[in-house]
Structure 1
Amino acid sequence: MGRKIRSINRNNIVIVCEGTDTEFNYLTDLAAYVNLNYPGRFADIRIVPTAQELVVATNRNKNRKKLKGSGGNAYYVQEEENETDYEKYRKQPTRYVREAELFLKDGSYGEAWAVYDHDNFPDHKNAASHAKEVKVNIAYSSVSFEEWILAHFERNAYAFDKSVCKQNKKDIMCGSGLHPNDCHGQRCVGGRLREQSFIPDYGKTMGGLFRRLFVRHKVAVLNAAWLRALHKNENFWECNPFTNVDNLVARLLGYNQEYSWIPGGGVFDFERTSLNLSGKKIKNVGDNATVLEYEIYDYLMNRISGANTGVIEPGDSFEFQVPENGVYVGVIGRDGVKMSCI
């Protein structure tokens, strides 16, 4: 029997996560914030799996093993029509992309995301390729979703080994000094969050994380762009650290500006010319005149000033007027905002 096709509601979104811990709680609170403050932006925001859906899926997988593969072809919620397709897509993280795709195929959702970490999964390349083919968006973090949380507080290029250190499958709360094997944030991101007192009581199942972080979410967007600038020519699944969760957050909150980072200033393409950004000064080092708009931001990425530069001819320079609390400058073009520290 063929898959039942429903009428597609283009104004809804489904987000398939690895599980029901940090990212599920964060995204659930974010969805509640969007529904409360921007009613009607989405007809529905569904986050999979709920705790109950995870229990059902876990038990079903146990039965499948006992029955040697004959216990159904389901993921968390969606189900394959045959064993062949299930075997084709069941590896992690491809299974999350595939489940998101099935929501698109049956017409129940018009937009789909898969949210997952590195976790030493075996099938990253295939997951990325399949997502592109079927138009499923990926929100990926390495080494873990905690990289997105850490980005709210600092730009950290250190390659952590794991989200949290565990003993007997239990978080030993690195950074709190409660365990003799405390790594003090040298191996795990959770330890860094606690050791630096960014979130002293951080835990993977803690609630209210989105609300706690929201005042700093624009900083996280900028720092996530900085992380990606470290790995320009690499496949995202091979990068550590990395996060592009900001893309999903921006989608839900309705941001339409794309930020990219110019590490330490330097030369970058802008419109039909090239610019060299150094501190408070920008110079047209290309072949064509340009006019640019710029904004100055404080440390929380609040806009505090901005202006239009007027025409800058090739070889000419312009010096930004920076208020005392100015920390970042953003050069605004048709392809997004180029950011740097002042």
Structure 2
Amino acid sequence: MTKLNRGGHKRSRKEAIKQVGPGNFLIVTEGTETEVNYFNNIKKIIESLFRNNIIVDKISLKVEGTARSTKVLVNEALKKRSLGTYSEVWVVFDKDDNDDFDEAIIIAKKEGLNVAWSNECFELWLLLHFQDLKSAINRTDYSSKLSSHFKNKNINKGTYDKNFPGIFDVTYPFVEIAIQRSSLLLLDYNNNNKFCPSKMNPCTTVQELVEILIKYTKPKS
């Protein structure tokens, strides 16, 4: 079917393929390996797709690996935000052994930052691509569970590696089910009147950031 513009006329070729990108994102992470590799994968895909299309604004996703945690990370993100112009600023961090986990989330939201947190670790988000997880496990067990799934699906020679640069690429085929599982997990806690992130194990909100970005990993027809 021929698409018409707002005036009821047939769209020109240029008008038909115009697609608005996600704008400028600043993503500040606690981790310096898995998380940065994951979001840099997305960054490369989006920039490669939009570079050769007609867009409103050039895509510029900036990913910062800081090796800092919780409140220190939030303060670092605020400083970086003050030095640039970003449509959205996200902080990505884990519960791990951090005592100020809840406080950092409260401060970030109060300051207008978006938070993609995981309890206990980012690997929970990756694991949800392959299975449901309703009960808490030790964070050291995530790697072995991921390696088991990688072996079954012949991914990265059957081994999960925090330094694996293509982590988004190999999990992308399962990202929709991961979003569904993680969203339902969060909903289950809320339906049971549990809203304190440090008490919600396992749980993550990484899907909220990923769901925004993956819309731009394929050009619209």
Pairwise TM-score range, normalised by the shorter structure: 0.7 to 0.9
Question: Structure 2 length as normaliser, TM-score?
Answer: 0.75
Structure number with higher helix proportion: 2
Match of 2:215 among 254, 258, 270: 254
Amino acid at match of 2:39: L
Aligned residues: 183
**Are 2:102 and 2:197, in contact at CA under 8 Å, matched by a contact in 1?**
no
Structure 1 residue 43 corresponds to structure 2 residue 59: yes
Question: Structure 1 length as normaliser, TM-score?
Answer: 0.50
Structure number with higher strand proportion: 1
Task: Measure, in 2, the Cα distance between the counterparts of 1:98 and 1:42.
Answer: 28
1:106-128 deviation per Cα after TM superposition (whole angstroms, max 9, x unaligned): 34433210001111102112211
Task: Measure, in 2, the Cα distance between the counterparts of 1:118 and 1:250.
Answer: 21
1:11-30 equivalences under 5 Å are: 11-30=23-42
Q: What does residue 120 of structure 1 align with?
A: 97
1:77-156 equivalences under 5 Å are: 92-156=69-133
Larger radius of gyration: 1
Q: What does residue 261 of structure 1 align with?
A: none
Structure 1 residue 133, shift from structure 2 partner = 1.1
**Are 1:118 and 1:143, in contact at CA under 8 Å, matched by a contact in 2?**
yes
Structure 1 residue 42, shift from structure 2 partner = 5.5
Q: What does residue 216 of structure 1 align with?
A: 174
1:154-185 deviation per Cα after TM superposition (whole angstroms, max 9, x unaligned): 111121121x3xxxxxxxxxxxxxxxxxxxxx
Q: What does residue 19 of structure 2 align with?
A: none
Task: Measure, in 1, the Cα distance between the counterparts of 2:197 and 2:183.
Answer: 13
Structure with the bigger RCO (C-alpha within 8 Å, sep 6+) is 2
Task: Measure, in 2, the Cα distance between the counterparts of 1:106 and 1:204.
Answer: 30
Structure 1 residue 227 corresponds to structure 2 residue 185: yes
Task: Measure, in 1, the Cα distance between the counterparts of 2:159 and 2:49.
Answer: 28
Task: Say which SS state the counterpart of residue 101 (structure 1) adopts.
Answer: helix
**Are 2:120 and 2:203, in contact at CA under 8 Å, matched by a contact in 1?**
yes
Structure 1 residue 207, shift from structure 2 partner = 1.8
Task: Say which SS state the counterpart of residue 141 (structure 1) adopts.
Answer: strand
Task: Measure, in 2, the Cα distance between the counterparts of 1:209 and 1:219.
Answer: 16
Amino acid at match of 1:24: V
**Are 1:23 and 1:145, in contact at CA under 8 Å, matched by a contact in 2?**
yes
Amino acid at match of 1:45: L
Unaligned runs of 5+ in 1: 1-9, 55-74, 76-91, 165-187, 256-342
